Amino acid sequence: MRIVAAYLLCATHAFAPSTPSLRAPTALHAENPIRKYGGSVVLGLLGIQSIRDLILEVPKLGSDQADYFGTAIDVAFTAFVATQLATQSGVAQPDGGEPSADLAGLDFKITMSVGRESGTWMDKSWAASGARLLLPLQCSFTGDELDLGFPGEEALAGRYCRRLDCEGGSFVGPGGTVTVACDGGGWWAAPTGRPGEQSLRFFLDFPAGAERNDVSIPPGRVFFSSALLNGDADDAYDVPASEIYEARGGLKLLNSGGLTIKKNTLLNLWGALGDVNLILGRYSLSGGKTAEAAERTASEASPE
């Protein structure tokens, strides 16, 4: 019990959310309740066990039967469980309830390149041919708060994040053009601990998924990982300029990153010990509709 408690103590969050409108449920969210809530239930049961241990241990403090180390672990783990469940339920929220960077109003073209990557735990038959599924998407980051419902997403800010708009896209398959539906998603930015650097995580929901040959996007939620860099990336981060996308206001983002999907099972107690993420591919980022319109305007205004 205490080994599990000590392991879980490495990922705590904190502090207070606002009350946004609830995300409209879709067929995607009507998932197996054990997979959705199992991790929280296990976490709660472990917390109850810690409380039970404290009830037995605290009266022994000061005697030769006292277990000071065990009591300290149980106190810390009980606080951890309370914080985690409060974050999942929306009573508490990390980063003071605000993302560390304001991306509201920015729009990007994101091209997903789905296919087999080194180190992935996807099934061996998935994308075994080496084929890729390329899916371009127009996405808009908004400042609107998004309520994901209980238990939220560990990869973002728990129950609450900011809304990401996307209407889907299309690609050309063997039988012609394939349209891929997308319900939009959410985003969050948080400090990494390094000066001027922030992590950027966002997701998109694909209710029906997509398939091209032996490559597929499983129906569900796809996570995107990136970073925000404030300042001179060449000097501070040893990142080549070719790998940076500079948006308005001098905001710099990595112009590529990884794609993952979440797969929690009984083996990791349905996420109580942290989410299991499978590598789905990579993505690239470029200017969206606003940037393209500005480029056309500048081109039309320039002399021949």
DSSP H or E stretch at residue 199:
strand 197-206
Phi, psi of 211 (to 5 degrees): -150, 140
Beta-carbon count within 10 A of 83 CB: 17
Q: Hey, what are 154's tokens?
A: 């560990």
Q: Which residue has the tokens 């890729």?
A: 132
Write down the H helix ranges in the chain: 2-8, 33-57, 68-89, 233-236, 289-301
Contact 96, 16 (CB under 8 A): yes
Q: What is the pLDDT of residue 17?
A: 40
Listed by start position, the domains of the chain span 2-17+30-92, 107-295
| Residue 64 burial class via C-beta count within 10 angstroms: exposed 0-12, middle 13-18, buried 19 and up | exposed
Amino acid at 99: P
Q: What is the pLDDT of residue 298?
A: 44
Select from 187, 141, 139, 148 the least CA-distant residue to 20. Answer: 148
Q: What share of the chain is helix, strand, coil (3-state, %, to 5)?
A: 30, 35, 35
Select from 34, 21, 38, 24 the least CA-distant residue to 207. Answer: 24
Q: What is the pLDDT of residue 22?
A: 58
Beta-carbon count within 10 A of 274 CB: 15
Q: What is the pLDDT of residue 30?
A: 46
Q: Mind listing the pLDDT tens digit of every residue in the chain (304 residues)?
A: 554 444 444 433 333 344 555 555 444 444 677 778 889 999 999 999 999 999 999 999 999 999 999 999 999 999 999 988 998 988 887 766 788 888 899 999 999 999 999 999 999 999 999 999 999 999 999 999 999 999 999 888 889 999 999 999 999 988 899 999 999 999 999 988 887 788 999 999 999 999 999 999 999 999 999 998 875 444 556 777 788 888 877 788 899 999 999 988 888 887 887 888 999 999 999 886 655 554 444 444 555 5
DSSP assignment letter at 153? B
